[in-house]
Amino acid sequence: MSCCKKDVAAVMQQAFDMHKDNKDGANASYIPFLASVPSDLCGLAFVSVTGEVIKIQDVDYKYAIESISKIMTLGLALEQSGADAVHSKIGADPTGLPFNSVMALELHDDKPLTPLVNAGAMATVSLIEAEDKEQRWQKILAFQSALAAADIELSEDVNQSEQTTNAHNRAMALLLESSNRIYSDPLEACDVYTRQCSTLFNTVELATVGATFANGGKNPVSGKQLVSPENAAHILAEMMMEGLYDTSGDWAYDVGLPGKSGVGGGLLTIIPNVGALAAFSPRLDQFGNSVRGQLMIKHVAQTMGWNLFNSKQH
C-alpha cells in the first residue's frame, strides 16, 4: 500500500468536512468526567512510518485514552513475557460479548479470551514485571510515553472519576483471582488498569502510537525500537479481532484494518507499513465507539484503498 501525503491530506479534509457536524451518539455518561467533555470537539490526524504528520481541527485537545491503553500495556507484556506466555494465559479470541462481560469469563472457566476486554486487560497488567504496584504503574506510564514520543501524564480528575465507579472491574479482578487467572494482587491490578485508562493523549500522540505499530514496533518520531516486529504483528491481530468491541467484525468487513477505540472518544486505525489514522470525537454509538471517528476513518481508508484484504491495492 502506498501513501502520498498530498492525497492523504486532501482525503482527510474531505472526510472531516463530510462528518464534522454529525450529531449522532452521545458522550459516555457512566464515567462523570467523560460526560463533561464538549461533545462537538472533533479531530483527525495521520502519522506515517517515516514521521510525516497531517493534522485537522481539534488534534491538540487532550482526552482520556481509556481502552486504547490496552494495546500499549499488551505491547509491554509481550516484550517482557513473550508471546507464548501471554497467549497461553490470556488468549487471543473475541468473546462475542460486551467488553465488561462477566458471562464471557463464566463460559470459559474464568479465563479471559483476549487482552482487549476488561478482564483480559487487568490480567495483562498483572503480568507486567515489577516489585510492587507503583513500579508496575510507572513502567506502564513510561511505555505509553515512549510509544507516543511525548510526556504522557495521568489525569487525577479522570482517575478519581473512574476509581469511584469501577466496582464491576474490581469484582471481575476477584473472579480472576478465584481461578488463578491473574498474576498479581487482583485489586492492585484493577487499580493500575484504571490508572492506565486515565492518561491523557492528543490525537497526534495517539497516531504516533499507531505509527509505531505500523512500523514494526519502531517509533518513527524517536527512532526507538519499542516492540519487536513479531510482537507488533500480534498486537495488530488482536486489534483486528476485538478492537471495536461488539462491532469489530463489522469494522474488519467494511474497513479491513486493525483498529482500537476508547470510550473517551479516541479511535486508532493502523495501516501496516504506511502509518496510522487517529480520530477524536466524544459522541459514541451504543457499543462505545466514536461515531464521527468511525465515519471519518472509514472514508479515508476506503478512498485510499487501505484494506488488508483487498488484492488490488492503490
Q: 9-61 pLDDT, tens per residue?
A: 999 999 999 999 999 999 999 888 999 999 999 999 999 999 999 999 999 99
Alpha-carbon Rg of the chain, whole angstroms?
Answer: 18
Asked if residue 183 belongs to a known ligand binding site, the reply is: no
Asked if residue 310 belongs to a known ligand binding site, the reply is: no
- Amino acid identity of residue 211, one-letter, is A
User: Are 19 and 292 in contact, with CB atoms under 8 Å apart?
Assistant: yes
87, 89, 95, 98: CA torsion to nearest 10: -120
Cell numbers standing for residue 263:
470510550
Q: Does 1 reside within a domain?
A: no
Query: Where does the pLDDT of residue 112 fall: very low under 50, low under 70, confident under 90, or very high at 90 and above?
Result: confident
Give the pLDDT score at 258. Answer: 98
How many domains does one find in the chain? 1
Q: State the chain's mean pLDDT as an integer.
A: 93
Query: Where does the pLDDT of residue 252 fall: very low under 50, low under 70, confident under 90, or very high at 90 and above?
Result: very high
Q: Does 313 reside within a domain?
A: no
Asked if residue 291 belongs to a known ligand binding site, the reply is: no
Q: Does 169 reside within a domain?
A: yes
Q: Does 42 reside within a domain?
A: yes
Query: Where does the pLDDT of residue 314 fall: very low under 50, low under 70, confident under 90, or very high at 90 and above?
Result: very low
Asked if residue 67 belongs to a known ligand binding site, the reply is: yes
| Residue 125 neighbours by CB distance under 10 Å | 33
Alpha helices in the chain (DSSP H): 5-19, 32-35, 69-81, 83-90, 103-106, 118-127, 133-148, 156-163, 167-178, 186-196, 203-214, 229-242, 248-254, 291-304
Q: Does 310 reside within a domain?
A: no
Give the pLDDT score at 100. Answer: 65
Beta partners for residue 268, in sequence order:
260, 278
Asked if residue 2 belongs to a known ligand binding site, the reply is: no
Give the pLDDT score at 311. Answer: 76
Asked if residue 263 belongs to a known ligand binding site, the reply is: yes
What range does the domain containing 81 cover? 8-304
Q: Does 25 reside within a domain?
A: yes
Asked if residue 274 belongs to a known ligand binding site, the reply is: no
249-279 in b/e burial notation, b at 16+ Cβ within 10 A?
Answer: eebbeebbbbbbbbbbbbbbbbbbebbbbbb
| Residue 4 neighbours by CB distance under 10 Å | 11
Q: Does 160 reside within a domain?
A: yes
Cell numbers standing for residue 108:
470459559
Report the CATH number at residue 203: 3.40.710.10
pTM of the full structure:
0.95
Q: What is the pLDDT of residues 200-236, one digit of tens each?
A: 999 999 999 999 999 999 999 999 999 999 999 999 9
